[in-house]
Amino acid sequence: MQHAKPVTTDAPLLTVCQLGRLGDIVAMEPAYRFLHERHPDRRFRWYTRPQYAELLRFAPFVDEIVTISDADEYRKRKAELPPGTLSWEFNFHTPGTPKPRQVRTFPSLLRQFSEAAGLEVPDETPRFYFDPEAAPPPLPDDYVVLHCASRGKNRQWPAGKWRRLAEFLLDSGRNVVEIGMKPVLDIDSPRFVNLTGQIQLQTAARIIADAACFIGVESGFGHIANAVGVFGIIITGKLRRHPEYVTYSGRYGHGIDCNLVRLYDLPAARVPFELVRNAAARFLSGAPMSAAECDRLCLIHQIRSMRRNPGVAVAELLRKPFDRFNAEMEFFRRKHATHSR
């Protein structure tokens, strides 16, 4: 994408502020593109925190990036913008105004933040813009990327399960690369590479893009996987009072090249190892599960687990006489209604 014509430094401004985290910024890329397409003759300025500047530094529609530390600094800078500037803030709350009403549904981050800013942005897959001169570190062929930890406590999957999954992948002949802020795995294998805490976001994105598959918890790196076109297996679950949720737009949001492995109304930590292993095994076999197959597998597992629960079994046993009575009453009601006609 390029500007319709060269934008000069004195062109009217269009500014966007996004102070969210990695996943928020990657997910909102279609909104930035949408705004540029509606205002191609404006100079596009993006405000963000310093650690995220590289995410859009190479986007062809971004003319200028201004790094800021927090919302207070942004408000001061916004007050100094010239008249006629068009400005949008995403995932940003102005003190003194009511917070957006909480809803029971959980739409994608793109839809949430766009609607809060008064925009109707099409549901598209985000794009990632690579530094053309950046090269990933030398890595083995045919590797799977694991991202094992998220900042959200209720999005974690236990370290023991991650280790079992990594060992399963290694035993299957695949190489494994772990990325993230801190290591979760401690594996002594020549086919395991630990790159946690040592790579820039541009490098991490290239590593994800070149992988055979991405397996991770719900996090910003999952949004990068969606943006770069790699197959993803995302371990997720309940978020606060939302029994199930999908933060992705585009491909992953529609279940394309993505398996969301989760149990209804339970956190990610409760997802059993066997479900993730089965999704990984299907991918390794060359016939990955569809989104519908993955949902069905998870649902069947949860129903079977519930029936093995002693409390559920006792409740069903106690309920049987009432169910039988209700069925007989319904049969009598319908029979009587038929005879009275």
DSSP 3-state of 274: helix
pLDDT at 292: 95
Per-residue pLDDT of the chain (341 residues; tens, 9 = 90+): 444 445 667 789 999 999 989 999 999 999 999 999 999 999 999 999 999 999 999 999 999 999 999 999 999 999 999 999 999 998 765 544 444 454 455 789 999 999 989 999 999 999 999 999 888 889 998 999 999 998 777 789 999 999 999 999 999 999 999 999 999 999 999 999 999 987 899 999 999 999 999 999 999 999 999 999 999 999 999 877 788 888 999 999 999 999 999 999 999 999 999 999 999 999 999 999 999 999 999 999 999 888 766 654 555 555 667 656 666 666 666 666 655 55
Asked if 174 contacts 143 with a C-beta cutoff of 8 angstroms, the reply is yes
Token digits for 89?
């803030």
Please tell me the distance from the alpha carbon of residue 12 to that of residue 81, in angstroms, as a whole number.
10
Residue spans of the domains in the chain: they are 13-116, 143-306
Single-letter code of the amino acid located at 153: K
Please tell me the distance from the alpha carbon of residue 29 to that of residue 57, in angstroms, as a whole number.
12
Q: Residue holding tokens 């020549």?
A: 190
Asked if 47 contacts 15 with a C-beta cutoff of 8 angstroms, the reply is yes
Q: Residue holding tokens 């993730």?
A: 276
Find the helix packing angle between 291-308 and 310-339, rounded to 10°. 100
CATH topology identical between 13-116 and 143-306: yes
Token digits for 279?
């999704």
Q: In three state form, how does the secondary structure of 198-260 look?
A: CCCHHHHHHHHHCCCEEEEECCHHHHHHHHHCCCEEEECCCECCECCCCCCCHHHHCCCCEEE
Please tell me the distance from the alpha carbon of residue 299 to that of residue 276, in angstroms, as a whole number.
13
pLDDT at 240: 76
User: Spelled out in words, what is the top-level CATH class assigned to the domain 13-116?
Assistant: alpha beta
Please report how many Cα atoms fall inside a 13 Å half-sphere around the Cα of residue 272, on the Cβ side: 11
CA dist list (Å): 110 to 117, 149, 168? 11, 23, 35
Measured from the Cβ of residue 85, the count of other Cβ atoms closer than 10 Å reads 15
pLDDT at 220: 94
Any idea what the Cα angle at residue 25 is, between residues 19 and 64, rounded to 5°?
A: 75
Please report how many Cα atoms fall inside a 13 Å half-sphere around the Cα of residue 79, on the Cβ side: 6
pTM metric for this prediction: 0.85
User: Spelled out in words, what is the top-level CATH class assigned to the domain 143-306?
Assistant: alpha beta
